[in-house]
Chains A and B, each alone.
Chain A
Amino acid sequence: MALESKFSEVAENEFYSSAYHKFLREKKLVGSKCKKCGHIFVPPKPICSKCQGSEMELVNMKGKGKLAAYTVVAVGAPLMVEEGFDREHHYCSGVVELEEGARVAARILGMDVTKPEQIKIGTPVAVDYVEAEHGGEKETFLAFKASS
């Protein structure tokens, strides 16, 4: 009986996956900062991969960064096909390096996907969020948009 509080405790633990997605639904991008070595991970981690430290601090990311790597996908994952992308309508996905130093994979908006070779690594981007319904449930996905 006493352990029943564990269910909500785990669901709400700020350093676990479920809370990360809850923050995204609130349009907040968060990371964890290891109190021992200072390394920041986005999404948050309960245990630091750099030093195994388990004392973590939740940090709000400013949401500004630059494009570090990208692709423009023509043959999309079913997740994206459900959102209307297909072999005629491509989307950009990539990795963003945040001002705080952490990198994260995300959807990339505001690029000309018809000219993928002209997308520039280093393009400044700012956080954005994509809301889409999948299987009857509204979900929020991390995205970044070209900010220049």
Chain B
Amino acid sequence: MQKQRKLGRGVAVVGAGISKFGVYPKGVRAQDLFVEAYNELKSSVDKGFDPKDIDALYLGNGSSDVMEHQLHTAPSIGNRIGLIHKPTLKIEDACAASGVAFREGIIAIASGIYDIVLAGGIEKMTNLDTAHVTDALAMALDPDTEFVAGETFPGIYATIATAHMAKYGTTVEDFMRLGIKNHYNGSLNPKAHFDVSITDFMKRRIASAVKKGLPEPHWADELEFLHDPAQNPVIAWPMRLFDCSTICDGASAVLLVAEDIARDFTDKPIYVIGTGQASDYPLAQREDMTSIMGAKLATKEAYEMANVGPKDIKLAEVHDCFTIAEILAMEDLGFYKAGEAVKAIREGENRLDGKLPINMDGGLKAKGHPIGASGTGMVVEIFKQMREECGPRQVKKKDVDLGLMHNVGAHGATVVVNIFERR
């Protein structure tokens, strides 16, 4: 029987920053993308702070070794932003790296050992071609079974998708609807890798055809465009190009402080009231392949710590590395019953103006998925949304006093969930 855990003392987020996500030229280093994120973080701390007061850096990174030929990345990043001589730690939990780094920062402050922690993440993926990125990401799968079966990252989620479709009747159009929503949100986020909606993509394709003197293509709507294999080819059936998060570069950073000093930094701190983390088997060994038990356990821990339930959550950033993953999240987090997330998707419940907005920043699909930067990237969006600082993509409802972020490593082998409160 797992005991109910609680934080030794309260923790708050008082600053957050994120670099533009996208494809930076070769030669640009992740450490400088982190500087970009850190500079935005600094300007976001309303009452300012002295960087010398930062006690430690917790850095999430998936694979700077393969992608940038660099190891021992955390002290190097610390040095880059003048955090010299401070303890630094890199956490590698695949795509959950910075979600876990964030949680470890919370735990460090809650323990009393530190008062001010910088948590963030980096990834420079585009130095490699797609084949080598695919290979690097597939290293996060089980080496004895999944990797040798030819599974890729899209492939393993596609495998989950076929199980979900067979059990619940989920359709490829449900996946497409998520892509449409997330690209629309991304179109309102200038930091997104693809700050374009599917309609924008359609217009671009038409313009390009006209320019080349080719016949003008026609699609009745966004769904028809996504059904067009020339525009949306299969990557790993049933996951198509527009079901997959993007390979890109980026960095994100947040400043965590002990609750009792939070108001020295800002009058609008966002408090962390629950955190949970769990791990899971390789896919084949799970009792149910249409859900991630690790997510359910991490969620349960976070909800119990926060003393709230799924119905209380007003907005969420969830791990949509593939569209099927957003469906799993919606169900594993308890927002919808198993097999019923598709109803909400079909009714548009998770749009910016909906009952429960999800992935307001465009998600990993449109914002991009520089894997190590993704977890704290979600925290950045939650922080800005709950402080109502998101401009055109600010959610319409006003009562955004409880938010949640859910960050998954690989196919759910690691899951971390954090719950935030505005007081």
Contacts and interface: CB of A to CB of B under 8 A. Distances in A.
Q: Do A and B form a real pair?
A: yes
Contact of A105 (B142, B234, B236): B142
A69 B162 contact: yes
B322 to A, nearest CB: 11
B154 A142 contact: no
B335 interface: no
B149 interface: yes
B178 interface: no
B159 interface: yes
Contacts of B150: 73, 76-77, 79-80, 85, 91, 93, 107
B159 A93 contact: yes
B248 to A, nearest CB: 16
A78 B136 CA distance: 10
Nearest to A91: B150
A127 to B, nearest CB: 13
B155 A93 contact: yes
Given A70-B162, A103-B284, A105-B284, A117 B145 contact: no
A43 B144 contact: yes
A102 B135 CA distance: 27
A49 interface: yes
Interface in B105-151: 130-132, 134-135, 138, 142-151
A21 interface: yes
Interface residues of B, number: 40
Nearest to B156: A71
A90 B138 CA distance: 17
Contact of B151 (A49, A93, A96, A117): A93
Interface string A74-91: 111111110001010011
B134 A77 contact: yes
Interface in B277-308: 281-285, 289
B126 to A, nearest CB: 16
Interface residues of A, number: 39
Given A73-B236, A74-B233, A77-B138, A49 B285 contact: yes
B166 interface: yes
Contact of B284 (A17, A90, A104, A107): A104
Interface in A46-84: 49, 68-81
Given A69-B162, A104-B284, A121-B166, A75 B130 contact: yes
A116 interface: yes
B284 to A, nearest CB: 4
B238 interface: yes
Contacts of B234: 72, 74, 116
B160 interface: yes
A15 interface: no
Most buried by B among A76, A81, A105, A141: A105
Contacts of B148: 79, 141-142
A105 B135 contact: no
Contact of A76 (B143, B152, B161, B283): B152
Contacts of A146: none
B37 interface: no
The 8 A-B residue pairs whose C-beta atoms are closest, nearest first, are: A71-B158, A116-B237, A69-B163, A103-B284, A72-B237, A105-B145, A80-B150, A121-B166
Interface of A: 17, 20-21, 41, 43, 49, 68-81, 85, 87, 90-91, 93-96, 102-107, 116-117, 121, 141-142
22 contacts: A17-B143, A17-B144, A41-B285, A49-B281, A69-B166, A70-B159, A70-B162, A71-B156, A71-B159, A71-B236, A74-B234, A77-B134, A77-B150, A78-B135, A79-B148, A93-B149, A94-B162, A95-B289, A102-B285, A103-B284, A105-B151, A106-B145
Given A69-B166, A116-B237, A121-B162, 5 more contacts: A49-B285, A71-B236, A73-B154, A79-B148, A105-B146
